[in-house]
Amino acid sequence: MIFGPVAGQYLGDMGADVIKLEPPEGDLTRSIGPRRSPKMAAFFLTSNRSKRSIVVDLKRPEGRAILQKLVAKTDVLLHSMRTPAANRLGLDYKTLSATNPGLVYCHLTGYGDDGLYAGRPAYDDIIQAASGLAMLQTVVAGQPRFIPTIVADKISGVHAAYAIVLALMHRMRTGEGQQVDVAMFETMAAFNMLEHQWGHVFEPPVGDMGYLPVATAARRPYKTKDGFLALLPYSDAHWNSFFELAGESHFMEDERFATFAARQKHFRDVWDEIERQVARKTNAEWLALLSPQDIPFSVVNTLEDLTTDPHLQSVKFWEMMEHPTEGTLRMPRNAISMSATPPQITRPPPNLGEHSAEILREFDYADDAIAQLLAPSGVCAPQP
């Protein structure tokens, strides 16, 4: 639901002409969340900008013929159908690359097409559980919990976008297309193991799994007199500055805090001391003290705070756009900055089938054929 749309949205922001092919009833996310119009819900709007929409009923032979005609002239096909369903529709790489040898065919799955779990269905919660991410929350919640964001979908979407770009670079050099497979399970297993493999990097292991300064309930924002603060003095210079600001410079003579190695060893004592010091002042007092310093810190924002955050406002993070049917929309801009080819929101999120006629015309369909395809009984007619 989000894995593929996120990947396509990133590519669209970077200038790709992204054609979103939808069934007659539309993408499921069109009906998830608040909305001003039918099939234009918030969840769809945040993950489908910079795209055009065409409706094609792939259950009908005429619909499959349209898709095959589109794919024959495009650079990339990105889809998340499970393999048996894609094969039944003639959407396997072998078939499509026969007419388009330069095609980059990106297949998104939960578990890939090889191995014991191949073909299993998956959503974000399932992959958080399978990859160990839900179990990691036990240190905080006392039992497995899902992170309250669709992190597996979004991280896998980023992987798919950069995999497609790498395949396009290869094609530029050689003219050769290829099949690209991105599986959520493998993606998130590798993501989690970056720090948590720990002693099991070695064979035989030289310690347990888990990076303890991260995998602990004690890792949390610190309570101030009137709010919360994230604070992470790291270097010796940071710690000297922090204890001076707190009026406790003698703490740097404590062997637990004097060196980086000692602070790593006694990290819980370190955090306890930060907690005691931070609790003595308000958020505003800490902001005034820390802002001129080089110590990493942040107040703890709510989601609502982000819409008025002064830094995000100063870098023009929020883009206001006028949608032809949905009115004013607030969109976060693409977070990447590039000096020569900056990303930009190229199109507002499309209405269902908004560009069907336009796209069909670009792929050499005659006007009478387009009228037939868009008629109420045609394969490109959206359902109300």
Residue 271 pLDDT: 87
Distance separating alpha carbons of residues 302 and 85, to the nearest angstrom:
42
Residue 286 pLDDT: 94
Residue 187 pLDDT: 98
Spacing of C-alpha 198 from chain mean position: 26
DSSP β-bridge partners for residue 152: none
CB distance 381 to 352 below 8 Å = no
DSSP characters over 67-82? HHHHHTT-SEEEE---
- Beta-strand pair 318-323/228-231: unpaired
- Amino acid, res. 325: T
DSSP characters over 160-218? HHHHHHHHHHHHHHH---EEEEEEHHHHHHHHHHHHH-GGGGSSS-SS-SS-TTTSSTT
pLDDT per position in the chain (384 positions), as tens?
899 999 999 999 999 999 999 999 999 999 999 999 999 999 999 999 999 999 999 999 999 999 999 999 999 999 999 999 999 988 999 999 999 999 999 999 999 999 999 999 999 999 999 999 999 999 989 999 999 999 999 999 999 999 999 999 999 999 999 999 999 999 999 999 999 999 999 999 999 999 988 888 888 999 999 999 999 998 989 988 998 998 888 888 888 888 889 988 888 888 899 899 999 999 999 999 999 999 999 999 999 999 999 999 999 999 999 999 999 999 999 999 999 999 999 999 999 999 999 999 999 999 999 999 999 999 999 998
The position carrying tokens 């669709």 is 150
The position carrying tokens 């888990």 is 210
> What is the dihedral angle through the alpha carbons of 111, 112, 115, 117, rounded to the nearest 10 degrees?
30
Residue 1 pLDDT: 86
Residue 212 pLDDT: 86
Structure tokens that stand for 208 in this block: 């347990």
Max CA pair span of the chain: 85
Helices (H), the chain: 3-13, 42-45, 61-71, 83-88, 93-99, 124-130, 133-136, 138-141, 151-174, 184-196, 236-245, 260-265, 267-278, 283-290, 303-306, 310-314, 356-362, 367-374
For residue 153, indicate whether it is catalytic. yes
SS3 320: strand
Distance separating alpha carbons of residues 207 and 132, to the nearest angstrom:
18
- Beta-strand pair 178-183/18-22: unpaired
Candidates 75, 125, 153, 305; catalytic one: 153
Give just the sign of the alpha carbon dihedral 53, 55, 56, 59.
positive
CATH superfamily, region 3-192+319-374: Crotonobetainyl-coa:carnitine coa-transferase; domain 1 (3.40.50.10540)
Q: Buried (b) or exposed (e) across 329-360, using 16+ Cβ within 10 A?
A: bebebbeeeeeeeebebbbbbbbbbbbbbebb
Residue 249 pLDDT: 85
Domain boundaries, the chain: 3-192+319-374, 222-299
Helix axes 151-174, 3-13, angle to 10 degrees: 50
Residue 18 pLDDT: 98
CB distance 222 to 278 below 8 Å = yes
Fold of 222-299: formyl-coa transferase, domain 3 (3.30.1540)
CB-based contacts of 332-336 (< 8 A; 24+ apart in sequence): 334/10, 334/13, 334/14, 336/14
In CATH terms, are 3-192+319-374 and 222-299 the same topology? no
